[in-house]
Amino acid sequence: MAKTRTVYVCSACGAESVQWFGKCEACQAYGTLEEQMVTTSTSPVGAARGGWQSNGRTDNRATVAPKPRISVPFHDITEEEQARFQSGYGELDRVLGGGVVPGSLVLIGGDPGIGKSTLLLQTANQLSQRLPRILYVSAEESGQQIKLRASRLGVAEASSVTTAKKAETNGNGKVKKKKEEDPDKANLFILPETDLEEILRELESLQPQVAIIDSIQTLYFAALTSAPGSVAQVRECTSALMQVAKRDNITLFIVGHVTKEGAIAGPRVLEHLVDTVLYFEGDRYASHRLLRSVKNRFGATHEIGIFEMAEHGLVEVDNPSELFLGNRDEFVPGTATVVACEGTRPIVVELQALVSPTSYASPRRSTTGVEYSRLQQILAVLEKRVGIPLSKLDAYVASAGGLGVEEPAADLGVAIAVVASFRDRVVDPRTVLIGEVGLGGQVRLVSQMELRLKEAAKLGFKRAIVPKGQSFADDIGLEIITVGKVIDAIIAAIPPQQKFGKDLEMEDFKEEEMGDDF
């Protein structure tokens, strides 16, 4: 006999509690416990249970030699390269690790309106030109809405899209045939459905190579009493989809909503179940979008792909360095150029700093694209080790295009930009700065230096200021200046005197000693 009881489940970590608390005892998050009804079976006490807790245990270890039942010795496993297929977008393939892995689960999260559905609809259209069956499950839009959006984006023709629903019949009981629903011509199938059981039946019947679920928070399993989007619903729906995908070798792209903090909504087990977790980032009012990988079982993490939202949907950006590089013809004080590495991709980014007298009792610090704590640390190093009084000045630092530059290799660029703004000087626009700033004022080594220098040389830079002792090839095509301390980098990057106005030319930037200027 089954009975119903009430439990409280944490929406952040999935922990259960028999009583409501303001704070989850497992993850210490506030206001995350949600009431749910669960059904339990009342089996007799002492009934036999399977597994390692079975009551009737037979000990035959003395008479039977131990041997594996279904496990395989490690040395018998063959090394086979994972087969991949292309999605039609090089930026998406880069983030996935070189292409789409058959039978994998890819979770894509992002803010509302950022373009997740647009990206997946365009990807489904590209895949339908190479693969025979692609299923797009829309739990948020009807088939007509998807068709209108596809026509607006120009990604699908009427003869290549069909709706996977029950066939309509006329008065004589015969099936009505439509030209756009000819299975011989249709490669992209649309299923507007929220019921998990209907979606699973369609996956088993159609056997698509790729299926897109938009989105996982709107699906529901009828056997559960909780509402769609709850911890139990998201967990059960994802588990059921994963079992079908792994068994039938179906690649699944799953869209996940995000919370106000920017994390994917639902329990953390959702991210543990899937093979790859991607975040679609960017300002919804700006044109460019970043697709970032934070988990990938088949490739490197922290890879990024860059798209631009154009009139007819998302367009790949072939050279992202030009997107995040400002106009080098304009000489503005407080600007420095760094080379950041996102995964295996080097990106040249322009950093801008503004230092001005404060109007408040305590100075303000603000960052855009740069970690706030790193700016605080760099300002303290400049004041303590270099002697620049910044404790009573406001400091603002931003990266061009809002790209998040979190790695320590950008520290030297931030420091030089702050000093240039403080002294109202212009940094040589042909110079890139790469290095981590230590608390003692030293410039530390960074990784992938040769890759960064080659990217800078390809974009026409002439000079690079790097940490002393850094190893790289000799034929980079750049003038390399090695520094051991921040003060040495300031002397090398900022010229001692300059003139402002239209008569400022590139020849005014010459290698001269700073003397006692600092």
Q: What is residue 404's predicted lDDT score, i.e. its pLDDT?
A: 83
Rounded CA-CA distance 342/303 in Å is 5
The pair of three-digit structure tokens given for residue 344, joined into one six-digit string: 């295996």
Q: What is the pLDDT of residue 328?
A: 62
Q: What is the pLDDT of residue 275?
A: 94
Q: Residue 384's CB: how many other CB atoms inside 10 A?
A: 12
Angle (deg, nearest 10), helices 231-248 and 196-206? 10
C-alpha to C-alpha distance for 213 and 237, rounded to whole angstroms: 11
Which pLDDT belongs to residue 353? Answer: 96
Q: What is the pLDDT of residue 178?
A: 44
In this predicted structure, what is the pLDDT of residue 456? 92
Q: Give me the phi and psi of 154, to 5 degrees please.
A: 70, 35
What's the CA gap between 36 and 437, in Å, rounded? 51
Residues near 386 by beta carbon (within 8 Å), at least 6 away in sequence: 419, 441, 486, 487, 490, 518
Residue 40: its pLDDT value, please? Answer: 62
- 404-408 own/partner pairs: CB under 8 Å, 24+ apart: 404/281, 404/369, 405/338, 405/340, 405/349, 405/351, 405/369, 405/370, 406/370, 406/371, 406/374, 407/340, 407/341, 407/446, 408/374, 408/436, 408/437, 408/444, 408/446
Of 322, 325, 328, the closest CA to residue 349 belongs to 325
Chain centroid, CA 191 distance in Å? 27
Maximum Cα–Cα distance for the chain, whole Å? 98
Q: Which residue has the tokens 């439990």?
A: 7
Half-sphere exposure of residue 310: CA atoms within 13 angstroms, side-chain side: 11
Q: In degrees rounded to 5, what are phi and psi of residue 267?
A: -70, 155
Q: Strand 276-281 vs strand 288-296: parallel, antiparallel, or unpaired? A: antiparallel
Give, as one character, the DSSP assignment of residue 10. Answer: E
Range list of H helices, 87-230:
90-96, 116-128, 143-153, 196-206
Structure tokens at 89: 């977008």
Q: What is the dihedral of CA 119, 248, 189, 267, to 10 degrees?
A: -50
pTM value surpassing 0.75: no
How many Cα atoms occupy the beta-carbon half-sphere of 309 within 13 Å? 19
Give the closest residue to 514 by CA, choosing from 438, 420, 409: 420
Residue 281 contacts by C-beta under 8 Å, 6 or more apart in sequence? 110, 111, 114, 289, 290, 291, 292, 404
pLDDT of the residue at 268: 73
The confidence score (pLDDT) of residue 159 equals 36
Provide the residue-wise pLDDT of the chain in tens; the chain has 518 residues. 567 778 888 877 778 888 888 888 888 888 888 887 776 655 444 444 454 444 555 555 556 778 888 898 888 888 777 789 999 999 999 999 999 999 999 999 988 889 999 999 999 999 999 899 999 999 999 989 999 998 888 775 533 445 554 444 444 444 444 444 444 456 899 999 999 999 999 999 999 999 999 989 999 999 888 888 888 898 899 999 999 999 999 999 999 988 777 777 666 778 888 999 999 988 767 788 889 999 999 988 878 899 988 888 899 988 888 777 766 667 789 999 999 988 778 999 999 999 999 988 899 999 998 999 999 999 999 999 999 999 989 999 999 877 888 889 999 999 999 999 999 999 988 999 999 999 999 999 999 999 999 999 988 899 999 999 988 877 888 999 999 999 999 999 997 755 444 344 444 444 443 444 44
